[in-house]
Structure formats: structure tokens, C-alpha cells
Chain A
């Protein structure tokens, strides 16, 4: 059972997407695990053949429990008489919500249910062996629309997300001595560049301004690598890969922070495509395990909500979080001239155990410089 969040203690295996004998390679999705935040597609980190599936769909297991055995190329098969360490006994059901009942439903039905906000435990299945089909979900969604709008005060899913966020953020505030730095950045050149780029593109290929911000952060992390790191065992552990966690709000409430993998190696179009894919899957409740666990730094962008400045909370074991507010037209003095410019407030939340304000200031200065040369992003 992989750890899919800073404070995840257990997860429920929802389904396997492989069976014994299947060949798998690094990055393949082998199953789906339900955490308090989402149903997460679990990837495999080694190549080989699935030897045994030790956990069953519906099992709730602690982090670290063995779910399956994968035999690598050339590795001897486990003889039939040899005992494989069994998976720890499933965690006893606890009284705390939300109860994760095993529901028979097709993967498509699950996906549609997530999109439409339908609780599968209340849906009558009409498929084989009572399995819930997509049509059943659609019918339930229609019925929900017609039904009187009497809803539980806090739906279970939302309560689960809230609890997970509460645990991670409480840990962060408890353990990380944050420092905050802020700077205002003139985005005139960046937005003009973006406007020109988007005029060349059809509507479906247009870039969002946040893509420029993400790319600028990714490049800046090469200039100031101390902020692309984890704080583990009282040590700063710089990370080579730049996987940028991006805070995504969910329509049903709460947020998830999956990562855009290797953001520094992607061009703007690739970043836009990655962001689109990530937001779509995150909002459908289907992020991948590596996206949840491997972020090396986080960006939160609250500009769409009209917020001017963001002072974020670092997601441990990361050591920095970059916040962007709304782009506002502001008076801007430069070279003795006063004008009106589109300006964004960029903040850095840094872990003071890992870095100092001097390092943070270098980061914000370099970030500004990158955004003044958008054609190089």
C-alpha cells in the first residue's frame, strides 16, 4: 500500500487492473486505491510479471502492506510450497466516517459517478450480478436533480478531503517554521507574448497565463535548486527532477495537489497539455500515485478567485510553496516614467529549517527575470 499523502495511514484497494501472469513495466497502472482524498491510480515502479495479488478489492490496508508480488526478468518464480509473507490483516473497520463500502460497479460507472457527484452506495445496479452500470449512474444523477435538494450537511467525500487536508496542513504548521517573502511582478511582456502566441492558435490549443508562471518557476528552480528539495531526517535533500505540485480546487469542495512531472523539460504547449490532463483527471477523482507522492515544490494560484496575495502552507516534506494572486492593473514606475501595468503578486513560503530569506529572495528575483523574457520560457 503506497503512501499517497503526507498523513495517509491506510487505503482501500478498489480494483486491480492486472491479473497474475500479466507483464508490467514502470509507470503502468496496476490498480486503484481509495484514500480520503480521491481514488488514485497506482503505478508500478518495476518491470516484470505479476506473480500474485495478495490483496483483494475492498481490503483496507495500512501503508506499507504488500499488495502484490512482481517477479522481475530472470528472477526465479516463487515455488508453490514457499510461503510469501502474507499481507497484514486488513485494518479493522473503524467507526469514523466515511465508510468505504464495496460496491460492484464498472470502471466507467465509477468515473461517471465521480463526474456527476453520484454516491454509488445508493445506486441500484442492473448489470450482471447487480453491478452498477453507467446507465444506472446517469439515472441516479437525473433522479438527484429532480429530488428535493435535501443533502447531508457535509457529504462523506467532502468530509474525507477536509480531514486529509486538515492532517497535512496541521503537520506542516506544527513542524515547519515558515518564512514568507513577496514581490510584485510586471507581467506586461509575458501577457503580450501570450496574446501573440494565442492569436496563432485555434481555441483548443490556447495557453493559459498560469502555464507561463509554471514554466518560469520550473526554470527558476534550476537557478535556486535549494528550493526544489525535501526536508527529511533534519537534512535538506535536493531533488534533481522538477515535479511541480499544482493546487487544484475540486467542485465538490477541498483541493488536491498532484504534480506536473518534469515541468522544467516541457515546452509551453506540453505544459498546457499536461496541466489540462492533470486538472481533468484530478477533478474526476483519478490522479496517479506518482503525481500525488513525487511533487518537489508546490504552486498555488488563487488569481481566478480575485485574491491579490497568497501566503500558502508548505506541503511536507517539500521546503517551498510559491503563491500567485490576481493580475491587476496597477500604477508602475520604471525609468522615471509612470504607467499602468498588469501586475501579479508572487509570494514564496519557505521552510526556515532548510533555507533562509536570502535564498528565497534570490528565487523571487530570478523568477521576475524569467517572466521578463517570456520568449525564452
Chain B
């Protein structure tokens, strides 16, 4: 799966969680949770949806590596290789 495909899948999930957000405005290095006002409940739902959509189960210990869109895309890209 290419990085643009991963980004599209991530945005598809985020649109359901934060329907009011303009995802195109998010900068790659911006903190996703802060930018989108995602609380821990939404974040867990995001992890569940990533698991269902991309078949990637992200351990809790890795959450800290997923602060930005760039980090998330790279992490998923590595896991999906």
C-alpha cells in the first residue's frame, strides 16, 4: 500500500470521527489529536477503525509514535510492507 493510499484510508476514518474538520488543512507535522480535538475515546475508535480497515493492530506502546500525520503514515507504511 502506498503512502497516498494510506493517507486516503486515514482521512476516510477521520472524516467519520471528526466530520466537521477540514482535513486538507492539517499539516504533516501537526499534532493530530490537538489539531482535530480528538479525545482518548475518539483516539481508541481511530485505532479500532485502522485495525478494521487496514488489518493493522497497533500496540498501545506505539501510540506515542503516532502524534502527527507524517509519523502515522510512515508507521503504517512500515507495518504494511
Q: Are B47 and A251 in contact (CB under 8 A)?
A: no
Chain A residues positioned under 8 Å from B80 (CB to CB)? none
Chain B residues positioned under 8 Å from A276 (CB to CB)? 41
Q: Are B51 and A203 in contact (CB under 8 A)?
A: yes
The digit string for A188-199, where 1 denotes a CB below 8 A from any CB of B, is 000000010011
Decide if A104 is an interface residue (CB 8 Å cutoff): no
Q: Are A204 and B48 in contact (CB under 8 A)?
A: yes
Shortest CB distance A91–B (Å): 32
Q: Are B57 and A115 in contact (CB under 8 A)?
A: no
List residues of B (56-81) whose CB comes within 8 Å of A's CBs.
57-61
Q: Are A210 and B40 in contact (CB under 8 A)?
A: yes
Decide if A208 is an interface residue (CB 8 Å cutoff): yes
Within the assembled complex, what's the spacing in Å between the Cα atoms of A332 and B37?
Answer: 30
Shortest CB distance A131–B (Å): 23
| Option from A116, A141, A202, A208 in Cβ contact (under 8 Å) with B57 | A202
| Option from B19, B40, B41, B58 in Cβ contact (under 8 Å) with A203 | B58
Q: Are B39 and A203 in contact (CB under 8 A)?
A: no
Decide if A279 is an interface residue (CB 8 Å cutoff): yes
Decide if B2 is an interface residue (CB 8 Å cutoff): no
Nearest B residue to A275 via CB reads: B41
Within the assembled complex, what's the spacing in Å between the Cα atoms of A169 and B44?
Answer: 31
**How many chain B residues touch the partner (CB < 8 A)?**
16
Chain A residues positioned under 8 Å from B19 (CB to CB)? 115-117, 141, 251
Within the assembled complex, what's the spacing in Å between the Cα atoms of A29 and B56?
Answer: 38
Within the assembled complex, what's the spacing in Å between the Cα atoms of A210 and B39?
Answer: 12
Q: Are B44 and A206 in contact (CB under 8 A)?
A: yes
Within the assembled complex, what's the spacing in Å between the Cα atoms of A117 and B19?
Answer: 8
The digit string for A150-171, where 1 denotes a CB below 8 A from any CB of B, is 0000000000000000000000
Chain A residues positioned under 8 Å from B18 (CB to CB)? 251
Q: Are A304 and B60 in contact (CB under 8 A)?
A: no
Nearest A residue to B60 via CB reads: A198
Q: Are A208 and B47 in contact (CB under 8 A)?
A: no
Chain B residues positioned under 8 Å from A117 (CB to CB)? 19-20
Interface residues of B (CB under 8 A from A): 18-20, 37, 39-41, 44, 47-48, 51, 57-61
Contacts A/B (CB < 8 Å), 20 sampled: A115-B19, A141-B19, A195-B60, A195-B61, A203-B47, A203-B48, A203-B51, A203-B57, A204-B48, A206-B47, A208-B41, A208-B44, A209-B40, A210-B40, A249-B39, A251-B18, A251-B19, A251-B20, A304-B40, A305-B39
- Besides A195-B60, A276-B41, 7 more A-B contacts (Cβ < 8 Å) are A115-B19, A198-B60, A199-B59, A202-B57, A203-B47, A203-B48, A203-B58
